[in-house]
Amino acid sequence: MTTVLILLDDPAQAADLAPQARGLGERVDAVIITDDPAHTDPVGPGTVSAGTVEAAGACGVGRLYVTRHELLASYSPDAWAAVVAELVDRIRPEGVLATAGTRPAEVLAHTAARLGAPLATHCVHIDDGAQLDDSAHVGHAGFPDTGGTGRGAGTETWRITRTRSGGVLLEDADLTAPVRMATVAPGCTVSGARHPDEPADSRACEVVDVVPELSPGDARVRLVERTEGERGLSLSAAPVVVSGGRGVGSAEGFTALEELADALGGVVGCSRVATSNGWRPHRDQVGLTGTKVAPELYIACGISGATQHWVGCMDSTVILAVNTDPEAPMMQRATYSVVGDVHEVLPAILAELGRRRAGGSSAATTPDSATPDSATPEPAVPDTSAPDASSQGSADAVSGLPARGT
């Protein structure tokens, strides 16, 4: 019976991972390693709640491995990886799946390093139907090539499609190893012998306690403190993001961006340059090594638009770029572009927003507004569904400024 092991750092992940694993194997086992007391019973570390076990069983998980060790009390990527590697050696699954989140991906990367095995990340599709011929066997450390037969042959292949360069590219590849490891992106599809959408077998989930063999060196890197983040709108959920880059010039230069973000009900973001220069904290960084955002409006102020930043904001509904360089990549890709100095354009936008709001509030006192047939006209909102070349450079979408750019 083929088995696929899923790694859970949150029990809720079983609802997505278990159906995907069912498409790749006949049996689904899960290992839960968590430092969150919300997922455990008060009896002590290493005991999960009855609700967690029931939910796992409902998803088709046949066996739930629950770890128990004092070195697992806080998150440690090396220690967690040691647990997964030990289970892989113990149960020899066909594959190991985890979500593409930060912690699961980090743990599987450490696991792959320990096993000398390949890891495919950010998969959007996995097909288990591919098989390599006898001339293409690949052996891996810990799983010796046995010449084409047996569990160590290395002939089993998953054909995968995964995102690269932050989602800009899709790559097709063959993942060949006795134990294949992959992280799956949200919405990942699976093609296998059994369709992942088939109902899970109705069975009780067996709970197996695991006391791994760990040494203090396995936990040399660990989480030592949690601090509560700032309350309010988060960068990833904000409907409007006003980001600044090198063109803002200094930490003080972000004052105008903060004022504009407040006026539009949004938050401030930044490029990697702004973070590297100490102008903004890393939590504000948008991009491949920061946060990916998809707001209704993204305003890029003094940002050139390098690939690592573009992949973090390219899903925005509308992008307005402000830059002195009309040839900057961000200016070429934006929905609207304004050629100008950020410190001149943003004050003009703020002044125009203030004028329009003041005009709207005073309109009720004008003689014309007293008549039932008259109404204060709403500011024109451009159609951004398919902007043509003539829309580039128009600032009317935000402030009514005359077109100045490309």
Look up residue 40 and give its two tokens: 């455990």
- Structural domain includes residue 197: yes
- What is the sign, positive or negative, of the torsion defined by CA atoms of 334, 338, 342, 347? negative
pLDDT above 90 coverage of the chain, percent: 56
Half-sphere exposure of 259 (CA within 13 A, CB side): 14
Determine the residue type at 358. Answer: A
**Phi (first) and psi of residue 245, to 5 degrees:** -130, -150
- Same domain? 204 vs 249: no
Q: Which of 215, 243, 266 is the last residue of a domain?
A: 215
Query: Rounded to whole angstroms, how far apart are CA atoms 238 and 232?
Result: 10
- Same domain? 178 vs 305: no
Look up residue 284 and give its two tokens: 């504000």
Query: Rounded to whole angstroms, how far apart are CA atoms 18 and 35?
Result: 21
CATH of the domain at 146: 3.40.50.620
> What local confidence, expressed as pLDDT, does residue 229 receive?
65
Q: pLDDT per residue over 188-213, tens digit each?
A: 999 875 555 555 554 579 999 888 99
- Structural domain includes residue 289: yes
Q: How far is CA 326 from the centre of its chain?
A: 31
Query: Rounded to whole angstroms, how far apart are CA atoms 243 and 253?
Result: 12
Judging by DSSP bridges, how do beta strands 119-127 and 206-210 pair with one another?
A: unpaired
Look up residue 105 and give its two tokens: 């991906």
Contact present, 170 and 124 (Cβ < 8 Å): yes
> What local confidence, expressed as pLDDT, does residue 43 receive?
37
The residue ranges of the chain whose pLDDT is under 70 are 34-47, 129-155, 193-203, 229-231, 360-406
349: domain range?
Answer: 233-357+389-406
CA dihedral 274, 276, 280, 285 (to 10 degrees): 80
CATH of the domain at 245: 3.40.50.1220
What is the domain count for the chain?
Answer: 2
- Same domain? 53 vs 175: yes
| Biggest alpha carbon–alpha carbon distance for the chain | 92
- Same domain? 178 vs 240: no
Query: Rounded to whole angstroms, how far apart are CA atoms 243 and 126?
Result: 36
- Same domain? 117 vs 193: yes
**Phi (first) and psi of residue 215, to 5 degrees:** -120, 160
Look up residue 89 and give its two tokens: 């050696």
Long-range contacts of 386-392, Cβ-Cβ distance < 8 Å, separation of 24 or more: 387/335, 387/336, 391/335, 391/336, 392/334, 392/336, 392/337
Q: For the chain, what percentages of helix, strand and coil (3-state, to nearest 5) are there?
A: 35, 25, 40
Q: How far is CA 318 from the centre of its chain?
A: 20
- Same domain? 294 vs 401: yes
Look up residue 1 and give its two tokens: 């019976």
- Same domain? 210 vs 237: no
Contacts of 239 by beta carbon, 8 Å cutoff, 6+ apart: 265, 266, 295, 296, 297
Residue 221 DSSP class: S
- What is the sign, positive or negative, of the torsion defined by CA atoms of 286, 288, 294, 296? positive
Query: Rounded to whole angstroms, how far apart are CA atoms 328 and 183?
Result: 34
> What local confidence, expressed as pLDDT, does residue 200 receive?
54
Contact present, 25 and 2 (Cβ < 8 Å): yes
- Structural domain includes residue 220: no
Judging by DSSP bridges, how do beta strands 157-164 and 119-127 pair with one another?
A: antiparallel
Q: pLDDT per residue over 260-293, tens digit each?
A: 999 999 999 999 999 999 999 999 999 988 898 9
- Same domain? 208 vs 97: yes
- Same domain? 69 vs 116: yes
Q: Which of 188, 215, 242 is the last residue of a domain?
A: 215
Residue 216: Cβ within 10 Å count: 8
Look up residue 63 and give its two tokens: 């066996």
Residue 127: Cβ within 10 Å count: 18
> What local confidence, expressed as pLDDT, does residue 47 receive?
62
> What local confidence, expressed as pLDDT, does residue 203 receive?
59
- Structural domain includes residue 369: no
Contact present, 184 and 168 (Cβ < 8 Å): no
> What local confidence, expressed as pLDDT, does residue 343 receive?
96
| Nearest Cα to Cα of residue 400 among 375, 383, 379 | 379
Q: Which of 189, 215, 241 is the last residue of a domain?
A: 215
| Nearest Cα to Cα of residue 264 among 273, 274, 256 | 256
